[in-house]
């Protein structure tokens, strides 16, 4: 995609239609950049509410000394309430942010197209509707593009510039350059269900919901593992509670349906039960967690203190967990190194990094480990490590493994023998999704990584994460999950398999 087009100059008025959460935020972004903004909403009170919300937000910044009163007044002064939709006529770019309803958006765009100049760009902020299908209601679909801001629009940098089937490359490039001139981080993508972020992020929720279905651990424990070992800013359960289960469930269902019921995106009965019960998360006062005044947040399950091992024998290469040897050394354990297949031998337990199989399956092999441990983003800084014991192993093996990680200063979460544990399977599935999005030409490798870093604050871009783990390891995890579950949900992307074979990296 060419980005040769220039941004729209600030002399070009911008129209924003829909003055709710997103529209008012987008209006402020454009006004801040110096454009005159025509802000329309079918409901005049919504325009006033939107402007009042912007004013009180800017008042807070003025009070904190982060902007002057004159700057606030100048920004707000550039936003003109526009009660009549036809009055958006002078705009060179119209961004629609109304209710998520295809028919209502279609009628609105037909009216807008009749009002504006022939070269004006028409854009939608839709999260889930097809940009291609919306464009098709226009007589000039080539001037239609998705500009998908994230909430809150004035703060979150990412904007997905979504090209429909007939969107002119120059139109997408102008939208891209304009968003960049507004201080945003735009990325290009094709109009496909979930675009980049809402598609690649599905496994972050989906794998935790799956583990909850199987009773592998509690919501608080799974959250703690993904935060404290995975390096994610929030755990999936607290994040779903914040987003709202109705919204999160609807996004998953939409992506699932629009991708022709691909089992990779299958919604979860655990989440449906929450929605059906009205436990929508923070907004309803309760979801996975209780948000009532005085309610205490449940603590993650921590293994009791295990015996401190006198020595640890590290056999072979531990791969992404190689740092454990130096950490054990620094913790004062006697560390012995030998050739081998990537095991940590302790008195009472043999440990290995999960490869997507259950501990029970691995221990069934001659010399197999009795306890598996989970992936960490960085074993040095991780505060927690999850472990799972094979069904054949004695309970003392859990204590021995816990004692080892506790000696390294980690909290330990003991899971039921879940294949791929938590961080490994979640990261592998996110990586696989990102690789498959690249394979299916949804967006470029760089833009996919940028999107997950800037749109949802992932600690590492998924394709960079794949490079550091090795595509072969990720593919092995997915294949193992596929064999264990016997489900098409866990199938490696053809592009991941190719990189696994050649050892090529994505960056």
> What is the nearest approach in angstroms of ligand NAD to the Cβ of residue 27?
11
Q: Is 344 in the site for ligand NAD (CB under 6 A)?
A: no
Single out the segment in contact with ligand NAD by CB under 6 A; choices: 64-72, 145-153, 382-390, 488-496: 145-153
Inter-residue contact 147 to 124 (CB < 8 Å): yes
If the CB atoms of residues 123 and 471 are measured against ligand NAD, the closer one turns out to be 123
Of the candidates 465, 460, 361, 485, the one whose C-alpha atom is nearest the C-alpha of residue 473 is 465
- Catalytic residue list contains 40: no
Any alpha helices (H) in 268-316, and if so which ranges? 269-276
If the CB atoms of residues 30 and 318 are measured against ligand NAD, the closer one turns out to be 30
Q: Kindly determine how many residues on this chain lie close enough to bind ligand NAD according to the rule CB under 6 A.
A: 23
Determine the Cα–Cα distance for residues 341 and 335; give it in Å rounded to an integer.
Answer: 16
Contact positions with ligand NAD (CB under 6 A) in 95-114: 97-100, 104, 108
Cα dihedral angle (131, 137, 141, 145), rounded to 10 degrees? -30
> What is the nearest approach in angstroms of ligand NAD to the Cβ of residue 209?
20
Q: Quick one: which of 13, 23, 300, 420 contacts ligand NAD (CB under 6 A)?
A: 23
> What is the nearest approach in angstroms of ligand NAD to the Cβ of residue 128?
6
If the CB atoms of residues 11 and 56 are measured against ligand NAD, the closer one turns out to be 56
Inter-residue contact 169 to 195 (CB < 8 Å): no
If the CB atoms of residues 129 and 279 are measured against ligand NAD, the closer one turns out to be 129
How large is the greatest C-alpha to C-alpha distance in the chain, in angstroms?
79
Q: Quick one: which of 14, 15, 16, 22 contacts ligand NAD (CB under 6 A)?
A: 22
Q: Which long-range contacts (CB under 8 A, 24 or more apart) does 314-317 make?
A: 314/338, 314/343, 314/344, 315/339, 315/340, 315/341, 315/342, 315/343, 315/344, 315/345, 316/340, 316/341, 316/342, 316/343, 317/342
If the CB atoms of residues 21 and 218 are measured against ligand NAD, the closer one turns out to be 21
Inter-residue contact 111 to 86 (CB < 8 Å): yes
Q: Quick one: which of 15, 16, 18, 413 contacts ligand NAD (CB under 6 A)?
A: 18
Contact positions with ligand NAD (CB under 6 A) in 467-486: none
Determine the Cα–Cα distance for residues 466 and 460; give it in Å rounded to an integer.
Answer: 10
Single out the segment in contact with ligand NAD by CB under 6 A; choices: 16-24, 375-383, 439-447, 458-466: 16-24
Q: Is 151 in the site for ligand NAD (CB under 6 A)?
A: yes
> What is the nearest approach in angstroms of ligand NAD to the Cβ of residue 73?
24
Helix or strand (DSSP H, E) at 402: helix 395-407
Any alpha helices (H) in 218-366, and if so which ranges? 219-228, 236-243, 245-258, 269-276, 323-330, 359-363
- Catalytic residue list contains 457: no
Distances (CA, A) of 21 to 26, 149, 151, 153: 9, 11, 8, 9
Single out the segment in contact with ligand NAD by CB under 6 A; choices: 13-21, 229-237, 330-338, 345-353: 13-21
> What is the nearest approach in angstroms of ligand NAD to the Cβ of residue 119?
23
Q: What values do phi and psi take at 202, rounded to 5? A: -55, -45
Inter-residue contact 449 to 464 (CB < 8 Å): yes
Q: Quick one: which of 75, 125, 221, 480 contacts ligand NAD (CB under 6 A)?
A: 125
Q: Is 126 in the site for ligand NAD (CB under 6 A)?
A: yes
Q: Is 146 in the site for ligand NAD (CB under 6 A)?
A: no
List the catalytic residue out of 24, 127, 191, 370: 127
Contact positions with ligand NAD (CB under 6 A) in 24-83: 41-43, 46
List the catalytic residue out of 35, 40, 148, 499: 148
Q: Quick one: which of 1, 7, 10, 21 contacts ligand NAD (CB under 6 A)?
A: 21
- Catalytic residue list contains 165: no
Of the candidates 300, 313, 399, 419, the one whose C-alpha atom is nearest the C-alpha of residue 356 is 419
List the catalytic residue out of 24, 40, 113, 160: 160
Q: Quick one: which of 19, 29, 177, 371 contacts ligand NAD (CB under 6 A)?
A: 19
- Catalytic residue list contains 148: yes
Distances (CA, A) of 57 to 52, 96, 97, 125: 9, 22, 20, 22
Q: Is 248 in the site for ligand NAD (CB under 6 A)?
A: no
Lay out the site mask for ligand NAD across 283-322 (x = CB under 6 A, - = otherwise).
Answer: ----------------------------------------
Determine the Cα–Cα distance for residues 122 and 143; give it in Å rounded to an integer.
Answer: 6
> What is the nearest approach in angstroms of ligand NAD to the Cβ of residue 125?
4
User: What does the buried/exposed string (b/e) look like for 307-323 if buried means 16 or more CB atoms within 10 Å of the residue's CB?
Assistant: bebeebbbbeebebbeb
Q: Is 20 in the site for ligand NAD (CB under 6 A)?
A: yes
If the CB atoms of residues 252 and 493 are measured against ligand NAD, the closer one turns out to be 252
Q: Is 157 in the site for ligand NAD (CB under 6 A)?
A: no
Strands 79-81 and 37-40: parallel
Of the candidates 196, 175, 197, 195, the one whose C-alpha atom is nearest the C-alpha of residue 186 is 175
- Binding residues for ligand NAD (CB under 6 A): 17-23, 41-43, 46, 97-100, 104, 108, 125-127, 149-151
- Catalytic residue numbers read 127, 148, 160, 198
């Amino acid at each position: 995609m060419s980005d040769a087009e220039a941004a729209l100059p600030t002399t070009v008025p911008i129209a924003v239609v829909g003055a709710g959460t997103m529209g008012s935020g987008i209006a402020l972004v454009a006004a801040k950049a110096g454009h005159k903004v025509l802000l329309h909403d079918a409901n005049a009170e919504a325009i006033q509410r939107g402007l009042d919300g912007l004013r009180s937000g800017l008042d807070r910044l003025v009070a904190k000394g982060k902007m002057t009163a004159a700057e606030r007044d100048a920004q707000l002064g550039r936003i003109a309430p526009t009660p009549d939709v036809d009055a958006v006529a002078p705009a060179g770019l119209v961004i629609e942010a109304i209710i998520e309803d295809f028919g209502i958006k279609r009628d609105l765009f037909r009216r807008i197209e009749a009002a504006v100049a022939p070269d004006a760009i028409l854009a939608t902020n839709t999260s889930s509707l097809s940009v291609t299908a919306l464009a098709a209601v226009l007589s000039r679909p080539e001037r239609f593009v998705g500009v998908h801001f994230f909430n809150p629009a004035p703060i979150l940098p990412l904007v997905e510039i979504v090209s429909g089937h007939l969107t002119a490359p120059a139109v997408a490039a102008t939208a891209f350059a304009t968003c960049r001139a507004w201080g945003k981080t735009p990325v290009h993508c094709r109009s496909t269900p979930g675009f980049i972020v809402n598609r690649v992020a599905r496994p972050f929720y989906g794998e935790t919901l799956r583990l909850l279905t199987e009773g592998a651990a509690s919501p608080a424990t799974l959250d703690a593992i993904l935060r404290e070992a995975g390096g994610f800013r929030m755990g999936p359960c607290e994040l779903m509670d914040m987003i709202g289960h109705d919204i999160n469930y609807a996004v998953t269902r939409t992506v699932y349906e629009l991708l022709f019921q691909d089992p990779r995106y299958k919604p979860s009965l655990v989440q449906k039960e929450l929605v059906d019960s009205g436990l929508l998360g923070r907004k309803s006062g309760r979801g996975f967690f209780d948000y009532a005044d005085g309610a205490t947040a449940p603590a993650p399950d921590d293994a009791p203190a295990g015996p401190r091992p006198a020595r640890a024998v590290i056999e072979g290469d531990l791969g992404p967990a190689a740092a454990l040897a130096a950490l054990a050394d620094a913790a004062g354990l006697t560390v012995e190194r030998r050739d081998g297949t990537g095991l940590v031998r302790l008195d009472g337990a043999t440990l290995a990094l999960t490869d997507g199989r259950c501990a029970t399956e691995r221990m069934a092999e001659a010399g197999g480990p009795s306890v598996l441990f989970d992936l960490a983003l960085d074993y040095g800084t991780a505060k927690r490590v999850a472990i799972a014991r094979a069904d054949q192993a004695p309970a003392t093996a859990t204590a021995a493994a816990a004692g080892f990680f506790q000696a390294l200063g980690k909290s330990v979460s003991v899971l039921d023998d879940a294949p791929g544990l938590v961080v490994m399977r979640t990261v592998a599935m996110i990586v696989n999704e990102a690789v498959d999005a690249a394979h299916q030409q949804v967006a470029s490798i760089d833009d996919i990584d940028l999107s997950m870093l800037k749109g949802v604050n992932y600690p590492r871009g998924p394709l960079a994460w794949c490079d550091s783990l090795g595509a072969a390891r990720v593919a092995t995890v997915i294949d193992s999950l596929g064999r264990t579950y016997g489900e098409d949900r866990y199938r490696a992307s053809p592009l991941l398999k190719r990189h696994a074979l050649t050892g090529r990296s994505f960056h």
